[in-house]
Structure 1
Amino acid sequence: MRNNIVFGNIEEALPGETENAESVVRDFLVSKMKLASDLVSEMKFERIHRMGEKRPGKNRPIVAKFNLFKERELVRRAGSALKSTPYFIHEQFPKEVSDKRRKLVPKMKEARNKGSRAWISYDTLFIDGKPFKDSAN
């Protein structure tokens, strides 16, 4: 999962139409994330596919496994271009890490509301540069 990025809320093909997830992601990188088309065309992916079951009215996320970590990081850092849009990207983590991060998000938001700098790195919450210790965890 180290080289994976999850793309969210990208429209799916209409029922009965086939979708090439790789071309959808490449178009998304150029049109929505404003990456250079020559750079995107050179990127190599190991695999790209939609996750989960189809549900009416819902767009399944797309997971892309990059061949090069450097390219994955380039895309991840360009994710700020998606602010104030309905789209999002994030790293893919193992279930245990995702569950821990989900529990840390409210604590991070609370710290930010109090004026502290707070962020989550992998499965650790940092508040003002120091790892957050919670007696409940």
Structure 2
Amino acid sequence: MNDELLYVQAQSMRNNLVFGNIEEALPGEVENAESVLREFLVSKLKMANDLVIEMKFERIHIIGEKNRDKIRPIVAKFNLFKERELVRRSASALKDTSYYLHEQFPKKISDKRRKLVPELKNARKRGSKAWISYDTLFIDGVPYTKSNN
């Protein structure tokens, strides 16, 4: 039952991307998360303005309570998975910057993925093709288990 609930949660987040380190409005200023995100897509991800204007979002919001010491992430739920993937694939433009974007998963899945990252990096250092899909690490197309390492 828990696995089914986790799967349903993950499915409800499948069109979401999380964007981080995007500057927030100064105290007292009104902030529109959607316009901030659209500007970010054009200026930092180098996406065409016409394309970004046409994108449809179900919802865009900032996660957490306002805190002077921390920039809160923005979650965007795309109407079309195809548009989400287009944005996700543009993430390489953020290399060597403080900005980031990633897929959104339930906490349990995120924790499992986080534990797989060291093995992912090790596999890539060894020259293997490696990636994480949902909560599984694949090395050269084979699901990773500690026993096949």
TM score, norm. by length of structure 1: 0.93
The corresponding residue for 2:29 is 17
Q: Are 2:14 and 1:2 equivalent residues in the alignment? A: yes
Deviations 1:29-86 (A, max 9, x none): 0011011101100111111010012222211000000111111111111111111111
Gapped runs of 5+ residues in structure 1?
none
What is the deviation of 1:113? 2.6
Instruction: Please state if 1:31 is matched with 2:43.
Output: yes
Quote the residue 2:109 is aligned against.
Answer: 97
Report SS of the residue matched to 1:57: coil
Residue 60 of structure 1 aligns with an amino acid whose one-letter code is R
Deviation at 1:116, TM superposition (A): 2.3
Q: CA deviation at 1:22?
A: 0.1
Matched, 1:62 2:74: yes
Question: Which whole-Å CA distance do the structure 2 matches of 1:115 and 1:6 have between them?
Answer: 29
Correspondence for 2:119: 107
Is 2:134 the counterpart of 1:122?
yes
Q: CA deviation at 1:134?
A: 2.5
Equivalents in 2 of 1:61, 1:27: separation in Å?
A: 15
Name structure 2 gaps, 5 residues minimum: 1-12
**TM-score, structure 2 length as denominator?**
0.86
The alpha carbon displacement at 1:16 in A equals 1.2
- Determine if the alignment matches structure 1 residue 48 to structure 2 residue 64: no
Greater fraction of residues in helix: 2
Across the aligned residues of Structure 1 and Structure 2, the Cα RMSD in angstroms comes to 1.2
CA distance in 2, matches of 1:123, 1:79: 21
In structure 2, C-alpha distance between the alignment counterparts of 1:127 and 1:76, rounded to whole Å: 21
1:100 positional shift: 0.7
Shift of 1:13: 0.5
Q: Percent identity?
A: 76
Cα distance in structure 2, aligned partners of 1:2 and 1:112: 26
